[in-house]
Every structure is written in structure tokens, then in C-alpha cells.
Structure 1
Amino acid sequence: MIRARTLLALPLCAALLVVAGCASRSGGGYYKDDGPGRDIPANILSIPDAVPRVETHAPANFRPYVVFGQRYVPIGENQAYRQTGIASWYGRKFHGQKTANGETYDMYAMTAAHPTLPLPSYARVTRAGTGRSVIVRINDRGPFHSSRVIDLSYVAAAKLGLIGPGSGQVIVEAITNNDILSGRYARTAVAQASPPPPPAAPPPVSAASQLAPAAAPAPRQTALYTAHAGGIYLQFGAFSSQGNAHALAQRVNRESGGLLGTASVVYDSPLYKVRTGPYDTRTEAVNAAYELSQATGLQASIAVD
């Protein structure tokens, strides 16, 4: 496995230290000389997820860097991020070593390595096809390999059922500082910017206007519903403008060809949200999002009210 230990919290002159491991796989899917530890906790699947909190970021952690000729540009602490790809894991070979932000790697803590998410920060990782989801703390850089998007700690991989196969398809969603402050990460993993309040309701129709000649019918719009508690949905966007939300809903319905049913606009003050659902389980919603992404390229996040 190839890992980078980037002490980005140090001054600009700090070097990028690259540890190159053997790239051959072992039977369980992990890399040679790596693997499970000898003192695996008996209750490993009961280890709680990371609890998101707003953390201080050193300015150096946002500076672009280069590994093996590839340039990486870290994203901002409040930038929405969603990525689908292959996750792998790393274990005893790196247990006790320094991570990219100078912490000590603990294979039994809910952490992960990512090339561009802020250090430190938090992300929700959902395994496609199963709906299993965990929250991890990003405190390391990697994987620097085109076929993988995130390296999970041993325990995070165990909770997603990835220890045996060694890797698997996942959806990575950033949990931003705005998400943490608002508590949104508990409901949906993709941040939505806080827009201005929606326009005031139109004035009542007067009797005189009712007697006026009828105007040409307005173009048909997607139905508008009021949000209510309970339910698991796929969410394609959230807007302060009702018109923009209707336009996106029509696009989703057109491009999906009814694959997920009909996308609707839901008013959840102060936002107009474009959604499909509800789904009976998170697994069903994740599978639907994955199927839609593969068939059309449309991207959706999981929203739980």
C-alpha cells in the first residue's frame, strides 16, 4: 500500500514524506505486510462512529501538494462534496504511525484517509448495495491510487463489511462545519447553503380580478408538497427559488425516465427541495441512488426527515 505522511501543520518548508509499501495483495484484500491486528476488540462492531465537531484547521492543510506527479488541491471546510468509488482499508502496518496531520493512527478508531477533504474533518461513508453507513474523522492523506477514493481504518471497514473483500464501492459525503453547527449531518450528509427566506405569499385574489378575462394557462409545473417528519428520500437539490426547484425536478424526471418514480418539490422552510421517495429503508434509497447514477449520471444524497 502507498501512504503519505504529510505534516501539513508545519511550516511551508516541511517535506512530504512518502512511505511506499509493497503493492501485492494478500488473501484478505489488504496489502502485503498489512492486515488485522492481534488484539482485535471483541466488541469492534459496537465502537461508535466519530462525532462531528467544529475543529481548527491550520492554513497549511489547504495548500495544494503533489504526490507521484499528481497534484491535489484540498477543498474548503464548508464546501459540499460527494464522491462514488472504491474504498480500501489499512491496519497493523500503520498502527501507531503518524498521520498526515501529525496524529497517531489508531486502526481501532473511526478515522480515514482522503486526498482532498480538510484535515481534520468528517465524512459519511455509505457502502453501495447494502446501505451500511458510518461517520469517520478524516485525519490522514491517501489513497494516492486512481482506483480508490478513500482508505478506511480497520474498524470503519469492519462496520461496513469490507474486511473480507478488502475493498468495495462506497459513497463519500463531506460533513461540513455548517452541517455540524446546524445539525444537518444527522439528517442528510450533503451540505446545503443557507439561502435567504422564500418570497412572501401572493396577495388574495380580488373579486374584480376574478371577473377579468382569463389569461393563457401557465406551463404545467411539478407538484409542490409540504415536508413532514418521517421518511427517507433521495434529494437532488435545495433552493430558495421555487422556480429553480421545479426546473430541476422536471430535468430529473426527464433524464431518469421514471426509473425512480416521480421527483417532487417539497417545501421545507426556508427551502424548496427536489426529492424522490419516501423509501422504506436507507438501503433501498442508497441502491436507488447508485442505480440512477450508473444509468444517467444524476447524483443524489440521502435525506432523512
Structure 2
Amino acid sequence: MPVPSRTSRSVLAFTLILALFTTTLTGCASRSPEPAPRTPKRPATAEPAPKPGDDGFVTPAPRGTFRPYSQFGRTYHPMTSVEGGFVEEGLASWYGLKFHGRRTANGETYDMYAMTAAHRILPMGTRLRVENLENGRVAEVRINDRGPFVDPDKRIIDLSFAAARELGTDKPGLARVRITSVGAIEGFTGTDIAGNFYVQVGAFSMKSNAERLAARLSASGFDKTRVEEADVDGTTFWRVQAGVFPSLNAAEEGKERLAREFPGAFVIAGR
């Protein structure tokens, strides 16, 4: 068999490279990007991360959960008040065990057995009357989370399991509802929310390590710092929470100071 000339070999190599490049482009173009998982995976030894979007606030003002945020390519602008009333109709979904014990958007721990719900723009603490338009059942819930982000053009609220069961939507999963604001938001002052707030700076699998850090924070001026026990997927964690702060804005300012040493610090609503 004759040996290919240098020119022939060059043409052959160029042809192979072009074919490989074309195949790569075709493969990329045919795959649509997968949506971001709602709960990021973490090592088994670490406390699970909050749902995406909990810390997705990027504009400088206003503070806390009133800031605009983005989720799955859409930007949402939370309302600062429901004065004058709020009414909306659409589909209700619910979320349960997968998120039970995780942090909600306002810093609380999600309890699937409490009468709470997630809404994309209503102020945290808003109380809603939810009517199932398919069976006439009614329940009252409190907003403490953001969502739903799946099918946002149709779904308007993500109910806790308890609220879904009360309304009879737990088995079908979806139901058409009307939501109506009820009364004022407790502690709401227009641009801030009064109450007891903490800044969580860390979670430890050993209680002694948590207590050591809590003592150091107490000595540095955060004299109401506490250590809270939490069970997450069968693993016990000891959460160190600095405080206490009299409002959400004050807690946000405290978080900014603490984040210099604890970059993962975040605000939670206290009890």
C-alpha cells in the first residue's frame, strides 16, 4: 500500500478534527440544560444546605426578605405590604418530608405539620385564607418561605403537608384555590419586622465544640447566643445561633459583622 504524502496526511488530520468538532457541537445542541436541583447535594457529614434561592438576594436595599431575588431565570420582587388586601387564584401544590427540618426563606425551620406556606412575593408573616375551589374546604396559613418555582405560570402557592391535608389536596397533589390576605402582618413596620432574630454561624456534630464557640460569642457581646439541637435525616447537629436581635434589619446588620469570620452565617427567626 502506498504511503500517504505529507499533504494527504494533513488533509486527513484536518478532516478528523472537523468531524470531531461537529459531533461535539451537535451533542451539546441536542441536550437541554437540566434545571438546578431544589436541594443541593452535600457530604453526608455536613448539615444539608437550604433550598436554592434562600440566600439569592443581590440588591443593596431594602433588607432581608424584601429584596428582589432570582430563581430559575426569573426575577421576583417581593411586596413590602398587603395593605388594602391581596387576592389571587391559581393552583396550589404542597411540599413535605423532603424539606422537613430544613431552613425556610425567613430563617425558620420548615415543619411540614405546621400551617404554613410558600409564596413568591408576599411578605413573610402574611396570613392567608386559602379556599379549595374544588371542594369548598378552607384553611388559614402563614407565609414563611418562597415558592413554588415549578410551573410558576400556574402554581401560586406551595402549602405545607398539614395545610394540604386540611384542604384535601394532599392526595391529588394539586388543586385550584383562591388565596386572600387576612389582617396585618405581625411585627411588620413597613420596611422591617420586629421580633426575636438570631444569626446562625455554624452547626457541629459535637456539642462541646458548639458550646465552646457559643461561649466565645457571648463573651464578645452576643450575650444571648444559644445552642440549639436539631435532628436532620437521623443525624444530630448542634447549631450555634448568635443574638438576640430585636428586628430583621438588626439581625441582617449583625450577620454582616459575623460573616467576616463566619462566611456562611444566616439570619433565622427566633422563638
- TM normalised by structure 2 equals 0.45
| Structure label with greater radius of gyration | 2
Q: Greater helix percent: which structure?
A: 2
